[in-house]
């Protein structure tokens, strides 16, 4: 049986991916006291395949970076130690694990394979980039170059710490999460990917223009990520309302190297297998996305074999 485009191998820097279905970072709010919990080992392990890429839920870089309850951190020794068995569980099944780090900005009060900087969705880095919310008059405000300065300084700092070959960034130039919109998102996205090329980072993870404010609101737009995809020299990951059919088309038409799935991967821990067989998908329950239960809406979605 010929493999569908999403299930063909892909080389991402030094990582040999066996398929192109990526677990998107999903805030789960089940890290009690900002410490990753044992149930997270099971959650990530369930969604691991040999040669598959998983991007962890957004992880705070300091106690002042937090904006939501019970989200994980990585600024204390206890937190670092709690992440280790999660990473080990993914590695044992042959998966590749990137930790997404964030600072939520105005929303707020090395055994990992790599790091993804959260530069999207209206949080701190995105707030600097978007002209609807950045009203600074210093070197970090005004021109496009100035507004992108902070994001690129963060990229440079993290790349210097862990190596550009282990670094990705998530961007949402077209979105207006937390009222963080921009008057010229195409120019913003292009400037960022062209600037990122200079640092040689591993990947850019870009949110589709149709994802304007939340996963509930998906609207088709004339905008496209294609100019950014063509300009960026590293691996290009697209995310935002993708189905199996959309994802296959994106890979087949060279619109993206990899496609990240959020809600579908949450509800279907064996998503690549279901895509392979074109099997029906479990329906996700939005009501249990952010509850504190260590099982319900987290690790209780059935695998294909047990749901037949």
pLDDT at 308: 46
Exposure string over 181-220, b if 16+ CB within 10 A, otherwise e: bbeebbebbbbbbeebeebebbbbbbbbbebbbeeeeeee
The residues annotated with a catalytic role in the active site are 123
pLDDT at 215: 54
pLDDT at 272: 97
The per-residue DSSP string of 108-131 comes to: ----SSEEEEEE-TTSHHHHHH-T
Q: Tell the CATH topology of 5-307.
A: TIM Barrel (3.20.20)
DSSP tag of 235: E
For residue 2, the tally of other CB atoms under 10 A from its CB is 5
SS3 17: strand
pLDDT at 230: 98
Tokens of 276: 């392979």
Tokens of 52: 């598959």
pLDDT at 122: 73
The model's pLDDT over 80-129, given as tens digits with 9 standing for 90+, comes to: 899 999 999 999 999 999 999 866 444 444 568 999 999 887 778 899 99
Q: Decide: 169 and 201 in contact? Cβ < 8 Å.
A: yes
Exposure string over 71-80, b if 16+ CB within 10 A, otherwise e: bbbbbeeebe
Over the chain, what is the mean pLDDT?
90
Question: Alpha helix locations (H) across 111-243?
Answer: 124-129, 144-162, 185-197, 226-231
pLDDT at 111: 61
Overall pTM surpassing 0.95 (yes/no): no
SS3 2: coil
pLDDT at 55: 96
Residue ranges in the chain modelled with pLDDT below 70: 1, 64-66, 102-111, 212-220, 306-308
Bridge partners (DSSP) of residue 203 are: 168, 235
């Amino acid at each position: 049986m010929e493999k569908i485009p999403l299930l063909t191998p892909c080389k991402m820097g030094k990582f040999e991916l066996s398929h192109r279905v990526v677990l998107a970072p999903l805030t789960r709010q089940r890290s009690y006291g900002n410490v990753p919990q044992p149930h997270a080992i099971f959650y990530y392990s369930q969604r691991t395949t040999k040669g598959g890429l998983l991007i962890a839920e957004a992880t705070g870089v300091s106690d002042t970076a937090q904006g939501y309850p019970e989200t994980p951190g990585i600024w204390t020794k206890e937190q670092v130690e709690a992440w280790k068995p999660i990473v080990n569980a993914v590695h044992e099944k042959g998966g590749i694990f990137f930790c997404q780090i964030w600072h939520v900005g105005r929303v707020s009060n090395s055994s990992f394979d790599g790091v993804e900087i959260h530069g999207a969705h209206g949080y701190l880095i995105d707030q600097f980039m978007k002209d609807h919310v950045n009203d600074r008059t210093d070197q970090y405000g005004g021109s496009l170059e100035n507004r992108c300065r902070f994001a690129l300084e963060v990229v440079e700092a993290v790349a210097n710490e862990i190596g550009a070959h282990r670094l990705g960034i998530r961007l949402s130039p077209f979105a207006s999460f937390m009222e963080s919109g921009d008057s010229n998102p195409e120019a913003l996205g292009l400037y960022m990917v062209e600037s990122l090329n200079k640092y040689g980072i591993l990947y850019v993870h870009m949110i589709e223009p149709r994802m304007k404010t939340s996963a509930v609101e998906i609207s088709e737009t004339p905008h496209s990520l294609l100019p950014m995809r063509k300009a960026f020299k590293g691996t290009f990951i697209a995310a935002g309302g993708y189905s199996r059919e959309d994802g296959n088309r994106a890979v087949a038409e060279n619109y993206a190297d990899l496609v990240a799935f959020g809600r579908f991967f949450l509800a279907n821990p064996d998503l690549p297998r279901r895509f392979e067989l074109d099997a029906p998908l479990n329906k996700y329950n939005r009501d249990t996305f952010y509850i504190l239960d260590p099982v319900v809406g987290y690790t209780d979605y059935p695998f294909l074999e047990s749901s037949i």
